[in-house]
């Protein structure tokens, strides 16, 4: 099979495996076609004011000052006298869009919204705003439009400030909240003289939504617990007090207004959010006004696992915690609006101050609304499953459904309201479990199909390695064990049977891909069965004990890499073990200086995974040190190699200019940080340097010589310049240390080749990338090449987790991109942070490309071994995916599989890029002609 064909097939197979996880775990749980349900009794409130303080943590609101006073005196008074309070528990990802969807629509958004940047509607959904008569909203352009777009009709009115106002370099982001309060106050003032608007305001089922982004923006820019953060919280408290006064005055204190104050997510001490730390998932909830229970004094201890009550000095007041999605049915119940159709929230009746009948009827409405989702989900699955294969959810069969609803109605009629509420809560619990049951109904079938494909593909790659890159005793009569025609007909029959089965079941198109893909994969495996027979025939001549030892060590190594995804310190353990390799391989006495350099490089690199991923204070002095280290090591190499590989005048100029550029880029973050601290904004000159460096980082190395170390040095200097601009502290030292170790690895592999007795070894100083593009079939694979491939995978994982953890959203500090931009833009910021992750990848990939050249191997042979190791890791993580436990555990297990699969696909593409980066050269027209590179 041609290399390009194999590459495209492999890429296609891995893309399918990658996408499969989204069909298995990340499909939207929403169903459509339900009927709106509302409580049949008069509601206690005619209108509701929802205030969401974006990014506000529970402890920041509830904790008192050292002198015993509160930084939010108005809301503290509400908590102690007029309303009910508690903690709203959010789910991961703790981001603005999913948080607001949970609050206002009552369901937890699936991951498909990530591709939309949390701004657009990936699927249509219902919300409290849509079910209201009118909804007026003021706030961020990132949040409000999605609820207006998803509403039927034009009764949701949004008023937003320009997106450019969301600037992390702003002198004071609290002006965003001041804008919202000012606009809302002006709205009510103008309504007094606008009869049409006033008539709309006096209608029932109205909602007023104030989205306050200032706290979140100040948290990102200045960190929580900063003076700007606390001043913004105090401003919000004063603004809420003023708004309540204005609203009550407008409606002449009719007592028909309910108020809800909460947050979409919290924030860590280091100014990030997205993961599952308690500071991100615990948000405040304060509800007061019409239909809301007033503060309840308690004398007995309240048992909460977080033990915050004593710290907040609120142990004497009843605390009522809710899940974030529970707030949507609470708001709907208070104003008498239909419950959002897609809501999975459970009405928190302890917040209601109404008759027991109203509570029971509201809970029954809540149960019927969720039950209807279950029934539609069940009907959909029943229609697409053969009757003899369909297994209904045992606790809620059709007969039990009728029994539950009939019994609840009877209990309400008999005025046994507490029993009715309890029964409805049980029915809701079963319905939610049933929704999950039917949503994951096909998971086992799809999982088996993917595993079959995985095992088949890995087996095929192993057979290809043995057939084309290993020295086996081949027997011409054993090349085919199964006649090709019979095997093809057998596979065709299997494919037809699977297709017919899927057609009868009316399965989605993607099911055909996952189910049919293993057929051609296993056909290819069985066609190569002769290679397996060759291996068996060659077994007596192989060093079996040595082979078994290699495979045991590699298997242990793969397990170490898997564990490192959960515990970054395992990368440190791995590097400590790797540091002993020259000693264990007998290379220490043959190349003592290089062995010591390897030992020191591994130990220095091992320090990085032990450093905290998050919570680091910016330290631009370390960025400057990293720049000086890069310049120092580059200068040392150029000085030491001046006789072996003399530089052409143009290359000398380029290296000098690149080192000067590194020095400038090392100083720019310090200037930027100082300017932002003084609230002078991002200097334009710094921004121009940053974007110019980013744009040229790939092109500049192509201007240098293609001699091995000259090209690698140019790549290192160019990528380091960009990395320094994206650094805020100790992580800036990572590329220089990693590059040092990679330099030593290249050199010490030459000694390993010598120890193996490989002839024709070239001096590194004489190797030219451009002259070694095609090195196919120079030599066959040896056992030691498995070790080289494993080293590569290990260093890729080290590059991945050395300074952060991409599996956790809050590993990334927004301050990393402040040299480039400070106005919030999720796609550009995410792209810059991703490039920061990729830079160490490229350094390792270029090293691997170099080792392929210097060890006289085809690029394909080593990469196939890497592919097998990566696929074994991916298969491991596929089995570790779990659909039980906390949402964070589930999400983390899935993200690990996605990361490994993405890495495999990415390495395929990056290998092409690094080959171009090392072997190609751009010749500028003004350069004099040269007869040597």
- 229-288 per-position pLDDT tens digit: 999 999 999 999 999 999 999 999 999 999 999 999 999 888 888 777 889 899 999 999
Strand 282-289 to strand 257-262: parallel, antiparallel, or no bridges (unpaired)?
antiparallel
486 or 62, higher pLDDT: 62
pLDDT higher than threshold 70 for residue 95:
yes
The pTM of the full predicted model, rounded to 2 decimals, is: 0.77
Check residue 777 and give its pLDDT: 47
Contact by Cβ (8 Å): 832, 817 = yes
| Largest Cα–Cα separation, the chain | 100
In this structure, what DSSP letter does residue 283 have? E
Write out pLDDT tens, residues 862-911: 778 888 888 888 888 888 876 554 445 666 677 777 778 777 777 777 88
pLDDT, tens only, 664-676 = 999 999 999 888 8
**Cβ neighbour number for residue 928 with a 10 Å cutoff:** 7
Report pLDDT digits (tens) over 411-454.
999 999 999 999 999 999 999 999 989 988 888 888 899 999 98
What pLDDT score was predicted for residue 151?
A: 59
Taking only the tens place, the pLDDT of each residue in 293-347 is: 999 999 888 888 788 888 899 999 999 999 999 999 999 999 999 999 999 999 9
Q: What is the predicted pLDDT for the residue at 929?
A: 46
Average pLDDT, the chain: 85
Phi/psi region, residue 253 (left: phi>0; alpha: psi -120 to 50; beta: rest), is left
* CA 748 to mean position of chain CA atoms: 37
Q: State what percent of residues in the chain have pLDDT above 70.
A: 88
Percentage of the chain surpassing pLDDT 90? Answer: 44
Q: Is the pLDDT of residue 29 over 80?
A: no
Summarised one tens digit per residue, pLDDT across range 674-688 is 888 887 888 889 999
| pLDDT tier at 930, thresholds 50, 70, 90 | very low
Task: Give the residues across from 260 on adjacent strands.
Answer: 50, 287
Question: Does pLDDT of 931 surpass 70?
Answer: no
Task: Identify the residue with better confidence: 487 or 140.
Answer: 140
458-481 average pLDDT score: 69
85 sits in which H/E element = strand 83-89
- Per-residue pLDDT of 585-625, as tens digits, reads 888 888 888 899 999 999 999 998 888 765 567 788 999 99
Token pair of 203 as six digits: 């209608």
- Per-residue pLDDT tens digits for 732-777: 999 999 999 999 999 888 888 777 666 555 677 777 777 755 544 4
Say if residue 35's pLDDT is above 80: yes
Query: What is the model's pLDDT at position 609?
Result: 87
**pLDDT tens-digit map of 570-581:** 999 999 999 999
pLDDT in the model for residue 878: 84
Residue 248, Cβ neighbours under 10 Å: how many? 15
Residue-wise pLDDT tens digits, 144-171: 888 876 556 689 999 999 887 776 666 6
Q: CB count, 10 Å around CB of 643?
A: 8
Q: What is the pLDDT of residues 499-556, one digit of tens each?
A: 999 998 888 888 999 999 999 999 988 888 777 777 777 666 666 677 777 778 888 8
> What is the pLDDT, as a whole number, of residue 372?
95
- Chain segment 178-203, per-residue pLDDT in tens: 999 999 999 999 999 999 999 999 99
What letter does residue 615 receive in the DSSP assignment?
A: -
Query: Looking at residues 203-221, what average pLDDT do you find?
Result: 94
User: What contacts 24+ positions apart, CB below 8 Å, involve 368-371?
Assistant: 368/37, 368/405, 369/34, 369/37, 369/329, 369/339, 369/341, 369/343, 370/343, 370/344, 370/428, 370/431, 370/432, 370/435, 371/401, 371/404, 371/405, 371/427, 371/428, 371/431
Per-residue pLDDT, 149: 66
pLDDT band for position 464 (50/70/90)? confident
At residue 919, the pLDDT reads: 81
pLDDT tens-digit map of 352-363: 999 999 999 999
Question: What pLDDT is stored for residue 479 in this prediction?
Answer: 45
Cis peptide before 196 (omega within 30 of 0): no
Distance CA 720, CA 227 (A): 35
Q: What is the structure's pLDDT at 877?
A: 85
């Amino acid at each position: 099979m041609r290399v390009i064909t194999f590459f495209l097939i492999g890429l296609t197979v891995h893309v399918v495996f990658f996408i499969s996880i989204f069909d298995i775990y990340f499909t939207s749980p929403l169903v459509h076609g339900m009927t709106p349900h509302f409580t049949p009794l008069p509601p206690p409130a005619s209108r509701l004011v929802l205030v969401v303080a974006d990014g506000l943590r529970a402890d920041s609101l509830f904790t008192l000052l050292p002198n015993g006073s509160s930084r939010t005196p108005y809301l503290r008074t509400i908590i102690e006298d007029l309303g009910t309070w508690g903690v709203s528990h959010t789910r991961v990802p703790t981001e603005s869009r999913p948080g607001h969807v949970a609050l206002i629509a009552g369901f937890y958004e699936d991951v498909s919204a990530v591709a939309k940047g949390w701004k657009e509607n990936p699927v249509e959904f219902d919300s409290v705003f849509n079910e209201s008569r009118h909804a007026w909203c003021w706030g961020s352009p990132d949040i409000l439009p999605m609820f207006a777009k998803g509403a039927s009709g034009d009764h949701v009115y949004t008023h937003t400030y320009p997106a450019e106002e969301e600037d992390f370099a702003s002198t004071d982001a609290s002006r965003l909240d001041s804008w919202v309060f000012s606009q809302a106050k002006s709205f009510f003032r103008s309504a007094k003289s606008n009869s049409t608007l006033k008539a709309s305001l006096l209608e029932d089922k109205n909602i007023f939504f104030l989205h306050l982004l200032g706290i979140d923006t100040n948290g990102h820019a200045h960190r929580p617990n900063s003076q700007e953060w606390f001043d913004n919280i105090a401003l919000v408290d004063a603004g809420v007090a003023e708004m309540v006064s204005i609203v009550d005055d407008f409606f002449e204190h009719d007592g028909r207004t309910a108020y809800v104050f909460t947050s979409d997510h919290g924030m860590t001490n280091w100014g990030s959010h997205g993961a599952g730390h308690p500071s991100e998932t615990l948000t405040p909830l304060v509800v007061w006004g019409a239909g809301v229970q007033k503060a309840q004094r308690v004398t007995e201890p309240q048992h909460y696992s977080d033990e915050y009550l004593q710290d907040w000095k609120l142990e004497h007041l009843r605390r009522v915690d809710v899940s974030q999605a529970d707030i949507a049915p609470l708001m709907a119940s208070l104003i008498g609006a239909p419950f959002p159709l897609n809501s999975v929230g459970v009405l928190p009746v302890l917040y209601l101050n109404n008759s027991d009948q109203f509570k029971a009827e509201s809970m029954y409405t809540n149960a019927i609304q969720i039950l209807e989702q279950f029934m539609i989900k069940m009907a959909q699955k029943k229609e697409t499953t053969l009757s003899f294969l369909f297994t209904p959810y045992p606790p809620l069969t059709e007969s039990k459904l009728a029994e539950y609803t009939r019994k609840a109605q009877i209990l309400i009629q008999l005025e046994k309201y507490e029993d009715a509420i309890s029964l409805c809560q049980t029915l809701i619990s079963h319905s939610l479990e049933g929704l999950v049951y039917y949503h994951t109904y096909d998971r086992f079938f799809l999982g088996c199909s993917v595993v079959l494909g995985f095992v088949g593909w890995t087996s095929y790659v192993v057979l290809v390695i043995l057939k084309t890159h290993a020295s086996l005793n081949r027997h011409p009569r054993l090349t085919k064990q199964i006649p090709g025609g019979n095997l093809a007909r057998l596979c065709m029959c299997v494919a037809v049977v699977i297709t017919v089965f899927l057609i009868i079941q009316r399965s989605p198109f993607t099911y055909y891909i996952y189910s049919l893909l293993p057929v051609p994969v296993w056909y290819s495996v069985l066609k190569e069965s002769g290679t397996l027979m060759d291996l068996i025939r060659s077994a007596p001549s192989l060093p079996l004990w040595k082979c078994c030892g290699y495979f045991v060590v590699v298997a242990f190594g793969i397990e170490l890499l898997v564990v490192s995804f959960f515990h970054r310190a395992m990368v440190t353990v791995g590097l400590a073990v790797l540091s002993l390799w020259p000693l264990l391989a007998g290379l220490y006495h043959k190349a003592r200086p290089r062995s010591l350099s390897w030992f020191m490089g591994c130990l220095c690199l091992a320090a990085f995974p032990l450093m905290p991923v998050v919570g680091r204070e910016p330290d631009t002095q370390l960025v400057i040190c990293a720049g000086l280290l890069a310049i120092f090591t580059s200068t040392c190499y150029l000085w030491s190699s001046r006789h072996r590989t003399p530089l052409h005048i143009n290359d000398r100029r380029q290296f000098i200019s690149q080192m000067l550029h590194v020095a400038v880029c090392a100083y720019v973050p310090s200037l930027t940080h100082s300017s932002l601290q003084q609230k002078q904004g991002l200097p334009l000159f710094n921004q121009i340097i940053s974007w110019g460096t980013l744009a040229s980082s790939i092109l500049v190395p192509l201007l240098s010589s293609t001699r091995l170390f000259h090209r690698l040095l140019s790549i290192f200097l160019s990528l380091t310049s960009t990395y320094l601009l994206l650094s805020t502290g100790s992580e800036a030292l990572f590329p220089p240390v990693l590059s040092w170790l990679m330099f030593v690895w290249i050199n010490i592999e030459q000694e390993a080749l010598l120890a193996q007795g490989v002839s024709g070894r070239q001096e590194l100083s004489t190797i030219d990338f451009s002259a070694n593009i095609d090195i196919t079939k120079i030599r066959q694979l040896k056992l030691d090449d498995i070790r080289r491939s494993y080293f590569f995978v290990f260093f890729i994982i080290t590059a991945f987790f050395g300074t952060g953890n991409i599996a956790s959203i809050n590993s990334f500090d927004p301050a990393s991109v402040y040299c480039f931009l400070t106005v919030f833009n999720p796609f550009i910021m995410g792209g810059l942070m991703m490039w920061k992750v990729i830079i160490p990848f490229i350094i390792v990939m270029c090293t691997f490309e170099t080792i392929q050249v210097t060890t006289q191997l085809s690029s394909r042979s080593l990469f196939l071994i890497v592919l097998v190791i990566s696929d074994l890791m991916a298969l491991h993580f596929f089995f570790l995916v779990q659909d039980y436990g906390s949402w964070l555990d589930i999400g983390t297990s899935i993200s690990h599989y996605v990361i490994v699969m993405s890495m495999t696909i990415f390495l395929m593409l990056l290998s092409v890029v690094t080959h171009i980066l090392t072997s190609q050269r751009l010749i500028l027209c003004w350069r004099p002609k040269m007869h040597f590179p």
